Copies of this chain bind each other. A is one copy, B any other.
Amino acid sequence: MQNVDLKHAYRLLNHGPTVLVGSAHNGRSNVMAAAWAMPLDFDTPKIAVVIDKSTLTRELVDASGVLSLCVPCVAMKDLVMAAGGMSGKNHTDKLTRCHITTQPAPQTGVPLVEGSIAQMECRVLPATAHVAGPHDLILAEVIGAWADERVFSDGRWHFEDAPAELRSLHHVAGGHFYAIGEPVRALPVVNA
């Protein structure tokens, strides 16, 4: 994994991939899947992600004020499905059961999922309880970002140059995903 310039971190989520949310507090940690995540700002980089209040992830994020977002790839499809369907509340060994291995993020210790094509370490924005409460919407600042240089370098995804199993996953419903597809180039805008 290579460092991603924080000003380019939004690009890791800009094309709408399904993510894995990592959390840790007081010796407990968890990883869940989430399709509802997006960039919120460029610089300083911020993200928004919906995390249901019934989840262990939410408990840990609320208690610690930190989380990770990782972008999984096609090779990880069954892991993503398992991480989304199994609750860390019911299974203290969820990560083992889901074949998830993690490394602690350098600043916060929050788990980064191995095999992901991008990873972000994030700190929940203070005073955002007014959206977390009623809408389960977590707003956070990205404080570290990394990507697999086989698919992301010089601030840009280039899936077309890499094996198909490194493409990002985009969840539709019930275990049906699409992989990201082929590049499309639009005409530049004149007289903007």
Contact = CB atoms under 8 A, between A and B. Distances in A.
Give the copy number: 2
Contacts of A167: 181
25 contacts: A14-B35, A14-B172, A14-B173, A16-B16, A16-B17, A16-B18, A35-B38, A36-B39, A36-B40, A46-B135, A74-B184, A77-B186, A80-B186, A85-B192, A86-B189, A86-B191, A91-B191, A97-B191, A130-B130, A131-B137, A156-B172, A170-B170, A170-B180, A177-B183, A179-B183
Given A15-B172, A48-B48, A178 B180 contact: yes
A130 to B, nearest CB: 5
Interface of chain A, helix or strand or loop or mixed?
mixed
Question: Which among A16, A40, A80 has the highest number of chain B CB atoms within 10 Å?
Answer: A16
A81 interface: yes
Contact of A176 (B35, B37, B40, B185): B185
Contacts of A182: 178-179, 181
A143 interface: no
A18 B170 CA distance: 13
A188 interface: yes
A86 to B, nearest CB: 5
B14 A186 contact: no
A186 to B, nearest CB: 4
Interface string A123-155: 000000011000101010000000000000001
